[in-house]
Chains A and B, each alone.
Chain A
């Protein structure tokens, strides 16, 4: 049962990832990307970490995908359906992808992943929260500061003097 589920989620994830790259229509491409991100959430559920899976769904499918869709719908219609055919680049890209996958796979297989036992209990999200607030608190605060700084920077960049004057 678990194997069949794993296969189904793998097919969904990889298939929709390929579709996201290959679709002519950008909107369908972003829907396929949502399928990929949802498939990754399915992997998290299978790996006994529903906390991460729900955050994957809420953040990636719920927010990032909406952002991508919103951007795609603002693109001009001719650009959405523009056809670019370049077989050489395609094969080069596939070759590059294979090399990257092989290298990553070699690194991962070389690490201690084989010794991990698979029948351990699911990770309690309270422990994750406790770790974040005790051992990893400098990293957490650093991330928060970077995010706040980037949001402020975006606000400053997006500010337009002329419209503000017009409103007044």
Chain B
């Protein structure tokens, strides 16, 4: 007899299932369907193929093969998709999840260990899912004397601020960004400024010694490294004359700014490591001195949320480095163009002998183009690349560069020891600020010598 379920009866089991089904059906009928209808009443639904999409039409089209492609296309170009899935939260969370696994495995290889090994047969690739399930199912323990509202709010605020940071990152040409601001870089600085507040508030609200020490250290570190961070990016702003991140990327179509601003790139990378609290700057979480720093009292999914937020932040910083110094999505377009016949006449499907017997007409193709007329223009030679081609190869270049930068962020963790607090402040206040001023003077020299910038040679 199993100890886990000593009173197991098939009847009880079936009764449980039927009870659950009954209550789910009841609640959906009484509350779910009216709620969906109320939401649909206020939603602005798109017009597809000259017809206003209603809920009934959407359900009909879901099972109509010729209308599925336009429906998916309308979904992809909606704001909700941008916020939730592609350039926004989902994309960043996917990269963050990959980063966590790669970090553990790569550090293990660097230090001649095995790393995650047992979950999911092949090199432990399901370790992350297992950890996530564990975190969700664990109890959330609040310290007895903690300041409860702040303690609950801090992880959520941390993830929210990291997601706001992610929302400012343009991923592909053609406005693939959640919030395309004219003052995007300033918005990034404003968002970065929120992290120390949340850190110190969560550290204070835990009402415990280790989190408070960690929080004070995090505050020191973040506030003193924010200044070189802002100064190191000003050189690029002087050269491009804009604060819009998409325009900064477009200004690097022939060469990335790291060629002219290597000092700025080095300073920004160092401050990035410090803002992310990664080794060698992980004093706020120094596990050999103060348990886990300002994360000590978090348990269960609250800890999971803070970890998710910090890895979203890591992705966003790496993407910012790519956008400002490495040219973002620029790179050779290698995605081949589709043939016009596929769009105008349909997709021919051959039989076993190779003779086309059936033509599937898929209206709405190309899926990744906002304007299907671009295909016709490209066939006539008036347009070099369609936006679909640019999107696919742009995303691939962007992800490749970002993953490279993330690799260099992860690498010091396996190589360097933690530095002392006074060394950290010395680096931040003396060396990095001086170097970033040198960088600004290089930028000003390039502008006034007439090399780059408005009216320059390049």
CB within 8 Å of A: which B251-288 residues: none
Within the complex, which residue of A27, A31, A58, A73 is in contact with B189, where a contact is CB–CB below 8 Å? Answer: A58
Question: Which residue in A34, A54, A126 is a CB contact (below 8 Å) of B197?
Answer: A34
A51 touches B183 (CB 8 A): yes
CB of A19 within 8 A of chain B? no
Q: Is B309 interfacial (CB 8 A cutoff)?
A: no
CA distance A125 to B243 in the complex (A): 10
List, in ascending order, chain B residues with CB within 8 A of A27's CB. 147, 150, 201, 204
Chain B residue at minimum C-beta to C-beta distance from A129: B241
Residues of chain B lying within 8 A (CB to CB) of residue A126: 241
**B197 near A66 (CB under 8 angstroms)?**
yes
A66 to B201, CA, bound (A): 10
Find chain A residues with CB under 8 A from B194 CB: 61-62
A54 to B201, CA, bound (A): 22
What per-residue 1/0 map shows which CB atoms of B176-196 lie under 8 Å from chain A? Answer: 000001110011011011101
The residue on B at minimum CB distance from A67 is B223
The answer to whether A6 has its CB under 8 Å from any CB of chain B is: no
Asked if A54 and B200 make an inter-chain contact with CB atoms under 8 angstroms apart, the answer reads: no
B192 to chain A, nearest CB (A): 8
Q: Does A81 contact B (CB under 8 A)?
A: no
Closest to A59 in B: B193
Is B219 interfacial (CB-CB < 8 Å)?
A: yes
**A62:B190 contact, CB within 8 angstroms:** yes
Q: How far is the CB of B425 from chain A (nearest CB, A)?
A: 14
Give the A interface residue count (CB, 8 A).
19
Contact A66 to B187, CB < 8 A, known contacts A31-B201, A73-B200 = no
Are the C-beta atoms of B181 and A66 separated by less than 8 Å? no
Question: Please, how many angstroms separate the alpha-carbon atoms of A73 and B206 in the complex?
Answer: 13
**A70 and B190 within 8 A (CB):** no
User: Are A73 and B204 touching (Cβ within 8 A)?
Assistant: yes
Q: Mark B215-247, 1 if CB is under 8 A from A, else 0.
A: 000010001001000000000000001010000
When distances are taken between beta carbons in the complex, the residues of chain A under 8 Å from B192 are 62
Please tell me if the beta carbons of B189 and A54 are within 8 angstroms of each other in the complex: yes
A141–B223 Cα gap in the complex (Å)?
Answer: 25
Q: How far is the CB of B137 from chain A (nearest CB, A)?
A: 32
Closest-CB distance, A27 to chain B (whole angstroms): 7
1/0 per residue, CB under 8 A from B, across A79-99: the answer is: 000000000000000000000
Complex: chain A residue closest to B199, CB-CB: A66
A70: nearest chain-B partner, CB-CB: B219
Q: Given contacts A27-B204, A66-B200, A69-B200, are A51 and B186 in contact (CB under 8 A)? A: yes
The answer for the CA separation of A57 and B187 in the assembled complex, in Å, is: 9
Residues on B with beta carbons closer than 8 Å to the beta carbon of A51: 183, 186
Query: Shortest distance in angstroms between A20's beta carbon and chain B's nearest beta carbon?
Result: 15
Given the known interface contacts A66-B196, A66-B219, A70-B219, the answer about A58 and B186 at a Cβ–Cβ threshold of 8 Å is: yes
Q: How far is the CA of A63 from the CA of B190 in the complex (A)?
A: 10
- Inside 8 A of B219's CB, which chain A residues have their CB? 66, 70
Contacts of A65 in B (CB 8 A): 197
A31, B189: Cα distance in complex, Å: 20
CB within 8 Å of A: which B357-377 residues: none
B186 touches A61 (CB 8 A): no
Instruction: Report B195 CB to chain A, min CB distance, Å.
Output: 9
Which residues of chain A are near B193, meaning CB under 8 Å? 57-58, 61-63, 66
- On chain A, the residues within 8 Å of B241 by CB distance are 126
Contacts of B147 in A (CB 8 A): 27
Q: How far is the CA of A69 from the CA of B203 in the complex (A)?
A: 12
CA of A156 to CA of B224, assembled, Å: 20
Tell me the bound Cα distance from A50 to B181 in angstroms: 9
Complex alpha-carbon distance, A54 and B183, angstroms:
8
Q: B221 → chain A, closest Cβ, in Å?
A: 12
Cβ of A132 < 8 Å from any Cβ of B?
A: no
Q: How far is the CA of A125 from the CA of B186 in the complex (A)?
A: 12
The residue on A at minimum CB distance from B222 is A66
Task: Say yes or no: A62-B186 contact (C-beta < 8 A), given A27-B204, A70-B219, A73-B204.
Answer: no
Which A residues lie within 8 Å of B190 (CB)?
54-55, 57-58, 61-62
Q: How distant is the Cα of A144 from the Cα of B192 in the complex, in angstroms?
A: 25
Residues of B within 8 A of A66 (CB): 193, 196-197, 200, 219, 223
Give B99-122 interface residues, CB cut-off 8 Å to A: none
Rounded to whole angstroms, the CA-CA distance of A27 and B186 in the bound complex is 27
B241 closest partner in A (C-beta) = A126
> Using Cβ atoms and an 8 Å threshold, which residues of chain B touch A57?
190, 193
Complex formed: what's the CA distance from A57 to B168 in Å? 15
Instruction: Indicate if the CB atoms of A125 and B183 lie closer than 8 Å.
Output: yes
Which residues of the partner chain A approach B204 to less than 8 Å between Cβ atoms? 27, 69, 73
CA distance in complex: A160, B196 (Å):
28
Extra contacts, 16 of them, besides A54-B187, A58-B189, A61-B193 (Cβ < 8 A), are: A27-B150, A27-B204, A31-B201, A50-B181, A55-B186, A57-B190, A61-B190, A62-B190, A62-B192, A63-B223, A66-B223, A70-B200, A73-B200, A73-B204, A125-B243, A126-B241
Q: Could you list some 8 contacts between A and B, CB below 8 A?
A: A31-B150, A50-B182, A50-B183, A50-B187, A58-B186, A58-B189, A62-B194, A70-B219
- Cβ-closest 4 pairs across A and B: A62-B193, A57-B190, A54-B186, A58-B190
